[in-house]
Structure 1
Amino acid sequence: MNTPPAKTPDLRADAAWVVFQILEHGKSSRDCLNTVQLRHAPKDRAWLQEMSMGVLRQLPQLQLWMRQLLDKPLKGNKKIVEHLIMLGLYQLAFSRVSAHAAVAETVNATQALKAPGLKGLVNAVLRNFQRQELSQQRSEDPRIQAGLPKWLYKMLVADYPEHHQTITQAMNTVAPIWLRINRLKVSREEYLQALAQVNVKAEAAPHHPDAVILHTRTDIPGLPGFDEGWFAVQDGAAQLAAPYLQPAPHERVLDCCAAPGGKTGHLLERQPDLAHLLALDFDAQRLARVSENMQRLQHQVTIQQGDASMPESWWDGQLFDRILLDAPCSATGVIRRHPDIRWLRNKADIEQLVLLQATIVEALWPTLKPGGTLLYATCSVLRAENTDQMRKFLARHADASLQPLTDAETPECPGRQILPGEQQMDGFYYCRLIKSHNTEPRLQSE
């Protein structure tokens, strides 16, 4: 079932379809959630997101319960009903939906899923779940409690033996909405006043001079100044890229793997007097979003499609003063925002991403001026993509030195790793490198 079920939208059938598309067809939530949300009123769109993403957060426990309650797995075109059952279990165990509505409406959704013959099965499973009080019987397996696939849980335990529980707990929280105020249009104080006038509660984010954290979940395009480009939605961790890169007037800057353009816009807002800013990305569709965002924010930038690992196909030969490489990564640092990520990745993906990251940074290094700065960034928490990647790069390049972002950094343990939930931010990694003429790796102090 590759199209949303039933011409007449059904909330629970649509939520089950979203989960089915992600788990069975490898679609991202971006690809399928918006499709069904447009079929519903705004208040129901929020419910759809909360329920479908909730199922993905609690998937191992829900699967465990379902295996106890189903005599045998459903197959073929009936498979989607398993996802409907898990949605029902999620409502009963983890949501504020009344038990009566959770059972009755979930059973009724079999009609929209073209499986009316399974109505009795769904009803029996949900009633047995209630009767046996299975919601009180949670697994003691820490991996199931964390709601993660085995491979990822093992990697987190290996990378963070003392902190993995804190990390997995943060991965299952709902992330706050951060805004980056466009300082070229309005001050943060002025924007906070504008929000207060429309009864949207918000606070100025500490340690982030351009950031506001919303306390009210609201329709973003309906906020003051959206059409005028007063702000962009951007997590606090991502807002560190521009100040860490420190672009100066009249410099040539490359924003590599730039889509959807959040960091591109911030670079121009921090330093509007750049000589040249090139926003490069391989994905033409995602580059269209860069263009849309730059138009709304009213920024002028050169946007180009190109493969970062092959500069000869797009580079004009003029060296860059600074490069921001927001490298392709596992996105394990933003799982709290996108719970589907945990089920769309596998261990083999990590190995391929590490190879791709190394290929890209090697290809870009010759395009950087001596004395220039390269800021390597990922939204990952895995050491293989971050600390290990940069440690190996420094060991290979005598003309690369580490310019620390924290006091704790060394060439053997380079970069700043932000963990999910730290100062309310997403998980993120930054490492700042300086290109020199020296033949030996060195540590450059701030």
Structure 2
Amino acid sequence: MKAREIAFKILCDIEENNNYSNIAINKHFKNLKISNQDRGLATEIVYGVVENKYYLDYVINKLSKIKTQKLSICVKILLRMGIYQIAFLNSISDYAAVNETVNLVKKYDKRSSGFVNAILRNIIRNKDEILNVDIENDDIMYLSTKYSYSPWMIKNFINSFGKDFTEDLIEANNEKPSIYLRTNTLKITRDELIEKLKENGLKAYKVSIIDEAIRVENLKDIENNELFKEGLFTIQDISSMMASKVLNPKENSNALDVCSAP
């Protein structure tokens, strides 16, 4: 099974069953033999579609006489996937995005293949105009649509921080975060772990503000990584690492972590 079809099945699971994206991804990837490249692309599409759903539906509704709430789940999800690849994934050609999406439509809802093909090709012909959010005189709906935030959140942000700061805030929040590892210093030093990560073909860098922290690139299929299985590191964001540093517990003190990763 190819990456896009896996992503489609995961997104259907999320849409139909109100499943959490991370749980759906883990469920569908379990015992699935695919390359790291396909795993990475499927994950990218799933999270990208989920995170940009308001915007993607806005683009669909610009072009389709049948609005998203009336479309079948299959067609709606495949349109979202195709538009996401065209709008956000520079590594994928527009032709490939359209062709692969239409092939999936032919497999799961053949009669809709011409409709989906027409929508996606229309976007490619008029990309700048169609992908632009042209909502005027309504700051809340403009920002809500462009960045896929619920309107009530945007309204609260604007009331608290003003429009300009709100846009800077949500734009920064939509950026892809780096992956950070926390070294298990009971088993290995940070320098030793960095060397092991590099031996595994990963790019790994020290993070100056936290002694145990490592920033990594291209880390895929974490649960099956041998270094992870050996308990040499956990995945943890810098902000979470800093919390324990600020707390600075002393010997025999008690601390309750109520938002605990494994």
Q: TM-score, normalised by structure 1?
A: 0.51
Cα 1:148–1:134, aligned 2, differ >3 Å: closer, same or farther? same
What amino acid is aligned across from residue 99 of structure 2 in structure 1?
A: A
Instruction: Choose the corresponding residue for 1:29, options 6, 16, 21.
Output: 21
| Same amino acid, percent of matched pairs | 25
- Give 3-state SS (helix, strand or coil) of 1:139's partner: coil
What amino acid is aligned across from residue 232 of structure 2 in structure 1?
A: W
Residue 104 in structure 1 maps to residue 104 in structure 2: no
Aligned match of 1:246? 248
How far the C-alpha of 1:28 sits from its partner, in A, is 0.8
- Give 3-state SS (helix, strand or coil) of 1:225's partner: helix
Aligned match of 1:130? 124
Q: What are the residue-to-residue correspondences of 1:201-350 with 2, within 5 Å?
A: 201-221=203-223, 225-251=227-253, 253-261=254-262
CA contact (8 A) 1:103 1:126 kept: yes
Instruction: Choose the corresponding residue for 2:43, options 24, 49, 58.
Output: 49
- Give 3-state SS (helix, strand or coil) of 1:125's partner: helix
Q: Residues 181-221 of structure 1: CA distance to partner in whole angstroms, max 9, x if unpaired?
A: 11111221222233233342211112111111113334435
Cα 1:240–1:187, aligned 2, differ >3 Å: closer, same or farther? same
Q: TM-score, normalised by structure 2?
A: 0.83
Instruction: Choose the corresponding residue for 1:78, options 72, 76, 95.
Output: 72
Aligned match of 1:16? 8
How far the C-alpha of 1:24 sits from its partner, in A, is 5.1
How far the C-alpha of 1:138 sits from its partner, in A, is 0.7
How far the C-alpha of 1:117 sits from its partner, in A, is 1.6
Distance 2:62 2:51 in 1: 19
Structure 2, unpaired ranges of 5+: 135-141
Distance 1:230 1:151 in 2: 42
CA contact (8 A) 2:7 2:45 kept: yes
Distance 1:149 1:116 in 2: 33
How far the C-alpha of 1:238 sits from its partner, in A, is 0.9
Cα 1:32–1:198, aligned 2, differ >3 Å: closer, same or farther? closer
Alignment coverage as a number of residue pairs = 251
CA contact (8 A) 1:17 1:80 kept: no
Structure 1, unpaired ranges of 5+: 1-8, 262-446
Larger Rg: 1
Distance 1:156 1:23 in 2: 28
Cα 1:197–1:16, aligned 2, differ >3 Å: closer, same or farther? closer
How far the C-alpha of 1:92 sits from its partner, in A, is 1.8
What amino acid is aligned across from residue 198 of structure 2 in structure 1?
A: A
- Give 3-state SS (helix, strand or coil) of 2:180's partner: strand
Instruction: Choose the corresponding residue for 2:61, options 48, 67, 76.
Output: 67
- Give 3-state SS (helix, strand or coil) of 2:74's partner: helix
Cα 1:216–1:133, aligned 2, differ >3 Å: closer, same or farther? closer
- Give 3-state SS (helix, strand or coil) of 1:46's partner: helix
Distance 2:68 2:82 in 1: 16
Distance 1:78 1:137 in 2: 22
Aligned match of 1:157? 158
Indicate the larger mover: 79-88 or 30-39. Answer: 30-39
Aligned match of 1:279? none
Distance 1:74 1:91 in 2: 18
- Give 3-state SS (helix, strand or coil) of 1:163's partner: helix
